[in-house]
Structure 1
Amino acid sequence: MTQSGVAFGTSGARGPVVAMTDAVCFAYTAAFLQHMASVGEFAPGTPVALAGDLRPSTPRILAACVAAIQAQGGVPVFCGYVPSPALALHAFSVKIPSLMVTGSHIPDDRNGIKFNRIAGEVLKPDEAGIKAQQVAMPAGMFDAAGALLLPQALPAVLDVTGEYVQRYVRFFGANALRGMRIGVYQHSAVGRDLLVTLLQALGAEVMTLGRSATFIPVDTEAVRPEDVALARQWAAEHGLDAIVSTDGDSDRPLVADEQGEWLRGDVLGILCAHYLGAQCVATPVSSNTALEKSGWFAQTPRTRIGSPYVIEAMQTALQQGLPGVCGYEANGGFLLMSAMRVEGRELAPLPTRDAVLPMLAVMASARARGCTVSALLDALPARFTCSDRIQNFPTALSQARLTALQTGSDSEQRQAFEQVFGEVSGTVSDLNATDGLRATFANQEVIHLRPSGNAPELRCYTEALSAQRAAEINLAALRVLATWRDA
């Protein structure tokens, strides 16, 4: 790990493609399986499911992972190029370990491997267990650059998409979206065709849009300006009720309303949890505070950013006997810890990030109420968020800058933050260091700074009483952050 620079981020091992050699990916996979053996979830002969996204480097990395599974005595089960939650649903249902080769939303010069235990994602204690493994690298398997010397063929594909589609057809019903005209922004998302199949199975008329043969890094927390323009154009041209899309591995949703305006992922999470009748909703500290202000939920635990932390909070809620437990991230990925019942239909838990559930819940809710998707937002308190990031911002520099703002007493820290951002939002009333540094101002505006766990980026989350103001604050804060990087 030290030699390659490939490390665990907020959701799996990530790194530049050039650093993720076959040998590095082999070692990570072997270490994962050795750790699974130590907790009783892997032994020689155990099947191990794996799948990947559509990045150019993914097939090569999958081949290295297959070699590691075989070297550990496991049986690789290749599920093809499918969404991360579809792979997880299958592996959880048959109780076998699994891994997904994906870099999620980041550019395709980077990639990653996301690992799952037999019933859920690996959590932070598992990451420590994986890091502690001593892996014996087979002699004669790799060249000096870390490439496999012999080509490794991938096994025949086991199709797991059918059970994923049927999970939602059974729950929502075959007429849930009948009469709706929905655009699917396909770009290079691995679930682009599956999403069309699912929407049609729920009765929708589907129009495919923007399919790409090259990888496009769609980030649901920082939607590209060109995607903002495209959604508005498509909505106007085609008379769509909604537009849906996902990130690269199709575990984070994008939903646009009938006007082509993309909804924030944390707003999707609130609306989905309400549709399901959830009682306890866990979400990171960066998510919209409309969650609490809505008054819809009995418990709303806040966590650090990353699905492992949301899962830990949900597990704690279950241990406390709380009913109706779910969670979501600001990127829109929804995690279901408890079985939920709506109109007599039950949806089984799926405790990993999923893009399909929140988008279907919002569209089905709009159809059932006979209203537009945008009208659903009227029931929420007027809290609006915006997020973006400064790219090519070294993580060490980000951390040093934030540490400098957290020196001294509480009042001294607030004053230090005001010195940097006071011209943007005024007086700081509260600082929260749960993850990064989140400042709440006296005027109820929020500026939250956090180094990315997956790439050399400094993310900025803002919240205000209007969408325009949240965007203004974000842009102003990014200008300040750019001076940090360029100083």
Structure 2
Amino acid sequence: MPPKFGTSGLRGLVTELTDELVHAHIRAFLAACPHGGTVHVGRDLRDSSPRIAATVIEAIRGAGLGAVDCGAVPTPALAMAAMARGHAAVMVTGSHIPADRNGLKFYIPSGEIAKPDETAILEALKTGGAPDAPQGPLEQDPDCAARYVARYVDGFGAQALSGLRIGVYEHSSVARDSLGDVIAGLGGTVVRIARSETFIPVDTEAVDPDTRAALAGWAAEHELDAIVSTDGDADRPMVTDAKGAMIPGDVLGPITARLLGARIVVTPVSSNTLVDAMEGFEVRRTKIGSPFVIAGMEAALAEDASAAVVGYEANGGFLLGFAANGPEGVIAPLMTRDAVLPIVAPLAAARDDGRGLAEMAAGLPPRFTAADRLQEVPSERSMALIERLRAEPAARAEFFDTGSAEEAIDETDGLRVTFANGDIVHLRPSGNAPECRLYAEADSPERAQALLSGHLDRLGARLRDAA
């Protein structure tokens, strides 16, 4: 499919992200959105990213604006650097999707662009975008990642992870060096694992069985208290307990929100409902995607500028909307999806509490999720099936197999069905790739996994039949 905007930026096949297309989108962005006169540019570690980043910088400078080359840095580090100076930013990344794809994430001086900004960019594409001008200046920012590391060391303190052995699954994450630096700066012992010079598309929301087995093996081999990692551009965390078992992102989110003293939690409809059962939170649900979470957070801040509001997604990406008091210092707001905060906060909380991550998670309300996706399925085919299930109760009764009556339907994003026994099954076409996402929730991890496996098989059969 041609490059298009999804839940987080522009995505497409590398072969279709030509210099001409990238140049046109950058010029459209500069014409349609505020930029502060300068644009910071970062990239992930895909083979295609340096070429695309060079085109981005060329397009910015050719419009007469300043460009700041931050090199290979985590997306939230880039956003933090640009926002601190009142500038825009562009991150070249395909996030967690395969290496044959890539993309652009756009930031205005106040943070990540919203859906109306995407519409404005697409309209500007029709008129040619920002015109040529005398070439703008080029600046390097070699300290971008170091300032990002300091954010967490200053907020949590040099002893926050003292005594813990933390494995860093490095793979091809652009944060593989800075994540280890954060852990070491907080007093933890860093064990670096499985660095790869070939890009590996790690989806923290749907970790494959081989990777799960490897995580368990590394945890035992190195006698670790946890293993941490991120997706390709480091805006989604991966965290395991001492046995290498995954701690889902929508469990890390509530733990982090609680430690930071949040009162309003904004999260997509796909996130675990355990947060609704926790005391002290007002929970607001949105469509899936950080732009929708940001819009929900901004609405809360419009109601009360001092609101202690945070956001997170089921993939674990965490957004901080207020100046939070960390154990050792203030952690400034960062209204973009971040992977490091929901890694550090749960580890620090578990250490202070004298329990491991598994015990801390077990103390939360007993709701469990499982997620996966059916790959290489055109979005149109997924949407056609979901529309039929929405419209026809008999089709839903035939498709969903929970042994319980349908209790409620939520069409906020895709089709999310709740059953009388508490089971939840949610179908949704991906906004970034030709995939159909499937989420399941139940009162036990075994039940959630069974729901996921059974319905994923059924989904595959239905979509193959539709081919």
TM-score (norm 2): 0.95
Q: What does residue 18 of structure 2 align with?
A: 21
CA contact (8 A) 2:266 2:312 kept: yes
CA contact (8 A) 1:414 1:428 kept: no
Q: What does residue 345 of structure 1 align with?
A: 329
Identical residues among aligned pairs (%):
47
The CA deviation string for residues 322-376 of structure 1, in whole angstroms up to 9 with x for no partner, is 6210000000000001111245632110000000001100000011111111111
Shift of 1:75: 1.3
Q: What does residue 266 of structure 2 align with?
A: 282
| C-alpha distance in 2 between matches for 1:390 and 1:430 | 24
Shift of 1:71: 1.7
Shift of 1:5: 1.6
Query: Equivalent residues in 2 for 1:280-319 (5 A)?
Result: 280-297=264-281, 299-319=282-302
Query: Equivalent residues in 2 for 1:5-404 (5 A)?
Result: 5-36=2-33, 40-42=34-36, 46-133=37-124, 134-136=126-128, 156-297=140-281, 299-321=282-304, 323-343=307-327, 345-404=329-388
The CA deviation string for residues 224-262 of structure 1, in whole angstroms up to 9 with x for no partner, is 211101110011111101100000001100000011101
The amino acid of 1:485's aligned partner reads L
The amino acid of 1:73's aligned partner reads G
The CA deviation string for residues 432-476 of structure 1, in whole angstroms up to 9 with x for no partner, is 000000000111000000000000000000001111110110010
Q: What SS does the corresponding residue of 1:301 show, helix, strand or coil?
A: strand
Shift of 1:70: 1.4
The CA deviation string for residues 132-166 of structure 1, in whole angstroms up to 9 with x for no partner, is 00354999xxxxxxxxxxxxxx9645320121111
The amino acid of 1:428's aligned partner reads E
The amino acid of 1:418's aligned partner reads A
| C-alpha distance in 2 between matches for 1:103 and 1:255 | 21
Q: Does 1:416 align with 2:416?
A: no
CA contact (8 A) 1:414 1:429 kept: no
Which consecutive residues of structure 2, in runs of 5 or more, have no partner in the other structure? Answer: 132-137
Q: Does 1:455 align with 2:452?
A: no
| C-alpha distance in 1 between matches for 2:205 and 2:182 | 24
Q: What does residue 470 of structure 1 align with?
A: 448
The amino acid of 2:170's aligned partner reads Q
Q: What SS does the corresponding residue of 1:405 show, helix, strand or coil?
A: helix
CA contact (8 A) 2:146 2:178 kept: no
The amino acid of 1:208's aligned partner reads R
| C-alpha distance in 2 between matches for 1:283 and 1:60 | 35
| C-alpha distance in 2 between matches for 1:9 and 1:335 | 19
Shift of 1:296: 3.4
The amino acid of 1:459's aligned partner reads R
| C-alpha distance in 2 between matches for 1:426 and 1:360 | 40
The amino acid of 2:345's aligned partner reads A
Larger mean CA deviation between 186-195 and 425-434 belongs to 425-434
The CA deviation string for residues 245-298 of structure 1, in whole angstroms up to 9 with x for no partner, is 00000110000001110111101101110111110000000000000012231x
Question: How many matched pairs?
Answer: 459
Distance verdict in 2 for CA 1:347–1:404, change over 3 Å: same
TM-score (norm 1): 0.92
| C-alpha distance in 2 between matches for 1:107 and 1:307 | 20
| C-alpha distance in 1 between matches for 2:351 and 2:185 | 16
Larger mean CA deviation between 432-441 and 315-324 belongs to 315-324
CA contact (8 A) 1:178 1:202 kept: yes
Shift of 1:485: 1.9
CA contact (8 A) 1:427 1:442 kept: yes
The amino acid of 1:420's aligned partner reads F
CA contact (8 A) 1:217 1:248 kept: yes
- Aligned structure 1 segments of 4 or more residues deviating by more than 4 angstroms: 154-157
| C-alpha distance in 2 between matches for 1:135 and 1:230 | 51
Q: Does 1:437 align with 2:415?
A: yes
The amino acid of 2:301's aligned partner reads L
